[in-house]
A and B are shown apart, each in its own frame.
Chain A
Amino acid sequence: MCQEGRSPVFLQSERFGGTLMKKIVELKNISKSFDGETVLDNINLDIYDNEFLTLLGPSGCGKTTTLRIIGGFEHPDQGDVIFMGERINDMPPHKRNVNTVFQKYAMFPHLNVFENIAFPLRERRVPKKTIEEKVHEMLSMVMLNGFDHRRVTSLSGGQQQRVAIARALIGQPKVLLLDEPLGALDLKLRKDMQQELKKIQKATGITFIFVTHDQEEALTMSDTIVVMSQGRIQQIGTPQDIYNEPKNAFVADFIGESNILDGTMLKDLMVRFSGTTFQCVDKGFAPQEPVDVVVRPEDVDIVAQEKGMLRGVVTSVTFMGVHYEVIVDIGGFKWMIQTTDYVGEGEYIGLYIEPDAIHIMKKSEYSGLYGDYSSFSNELDELSDPGEESEDYE
């Protein structure tokens, strides 16, 4: 059922060496609008020391704006930005102990790799010798040894990315902000960089606030995911929380594949949908309360028709490599099921769903927005994948 805030597992991980982990950044009731249009609507978010936190949401939901408010490049219309207990609403960016990896890297083209990375230290008048040592340390951390005198304009996207990370980390900020840093890289490089970023975060212990619209990236990299939509936080939690216990239909639909159905909570541990009554593990709803029901495609078992809790006909089967994606018509609602067993198109089958595979959500403004899989096609899904390269060219 819906849990407030973070799961018990996460609360435990907030404890470190017996002491409660420190809050580094707190956003309190932050609202922001541009030209009369609300972009952030009462954002409340605590970010902890040492955390890899991801802001996840479709393009235009306000992720960059949130990051820019923390960096000091935008000012909230309302609310407070707290940094290590101190209100920093009016502190200019250069005084904040926060560094940013910009979406398009923002390399200084007139400086070579060494000077780009050395930039923050030169600003602080660090002795030459120390600068040299630190830059080389950074270069080896991002695996660019020997690139000192290369022009940044001669580097590939992935290499510029690494220089940008080294430059942002050399000043040892408390927090690193990363705005879709992997968006422009190809898939293979992107996977490698995901691992590397995660490693760097662990090694340095710096809090990372990472922005992406890619749910898979968010799930694999984060300690905490903040799902945003239309300028509001929809859910905060661990990747497991977000996936297994989505708070509303938006989160369920945005993260992974899901069958979202209208249902009625009959009583505790008992829900009715698709004309059938199911055992479930959720409680605490009012009797007869209308709810949204989520069943993940991989949590459904295909069984013989007479043994099924639901019965229907297979309308399409797609081979995906590891599994098949099967679309089943059940009383007019098209379900998606992922299975390793082959079934043929046109076959009549039964579905079996374990009680803990059923997740109940309260009705929200997003209820009913996401239909079934009747118009589903993999290619279409990929085409309509938000963003990728269509973003942020104001």
Chain B
Amino acid sequence: MSTPMVGWKDLPMAAVPFLSAKEYPTGEWAVFQPKIDESKCVKCGLCWMYCPDSVYRWDGEGVPVPDLDHCKGCGICAVECPTKAIEMVRI
């Protein structure tokens, strides 16, 4: 028996992506990823602010925590950290 055909009226009005991009592991692109020396971090939040990939989680109090499953390793956070607390390490 053949599969019933889906009529055009059953299709969504536009192409609707249905999975969150967080399911997509862009961390696999990285060659280097950030490692924070907590003793040097002054909790300014600039690494969080400048990451193009929304990688850092920061509660506003502690040291920001990068989600390495999504970090592409661009190195912006390491360059912009005012105390040089971030080292890019080869993974």
The answer to whether A and B belong to the same complex is no
A interface residues with partner B (beta carbon < 8 Å): none
